Amino acid sequence: MRGATAGATVAVMTDEPIRTLLERIAAPASASRPDLEAIATALAALAADRDYLERWIERLEGRPGSVAIHAPAHGPRLQLVHRPEGEMSAVHDHGTWIAIATVTGIETHRRYRRLTGPASEIPKLAEVRDLGPAASATLLPPDDVHDHGHLVGNGPPAHILVLAGADQTQLIRNEWDLATGRHRVLGPGDSGRWIASQPMPGD
**pLDDT string in tens for the chain (203-residue length):** 444 443 344 444 568 999 999 999 999 999 999 999 999 999 999 999 999 999 999 999 989 999 999 999 899 999 999 999 999 999 999 999 999 999 999 999 999 999 888 888 999 999 999 999 999 999 999 999 999 999 999 999 999 999 999 999 899 999 999 989 999 999 999 999 999 999 998 76
The rounded distance, in Å, linking the Cα atoms of 191 and 126 is: 24
Q: Collect all residues with Cβ–Cβ distance below 8 Å to 121 and sequence separation of at least 6.
A: 115, 183
Instruction: Please state the domain extents for the chain.
Output: 16-186
* C-alpha distance across the termini of the chain, in Å: 22
What is the predicted pLDDT for the residue at 14? 65
Residue 5: its pLDDT value, please?
41
Long-range contacts of 121-126 (CB under 8 A, 24+ apart): 121/183, 122/91, 122/176, 122/178, 122/181, 122/183, 123/91, 123/176
Could you give the strand order of the β-sheet that contains 136-139, starting from the edge strand earlier in sequence?
65-70, 77-82, 159-164, 98-104, 136-139
Top CATH class, 16-186: mainly beta
Instruction: Note the pLDDT of residue 96.
Output: 96
Q: What 8-state DSSP symbol labels residue 88?
A: B
What sign does the dihedral 116-118-120-121 (CA atoms) show? Answer: negative
**Three-point CA angle 114, 115, 119, nearest 5°:** 75
By C-alpha distance, which of 35, 150, 166 is closest to 104?
150
Q: What is the pLDDT of residue 2?
A: 43
CB atoms within 10 A of CB 16: 8
What is the predicted pLDDT for the residue at 202?
76
Residue 157 has phi, psi (to 5 degrees) of -55, 140
- Give this prediction's pTM: 0.90
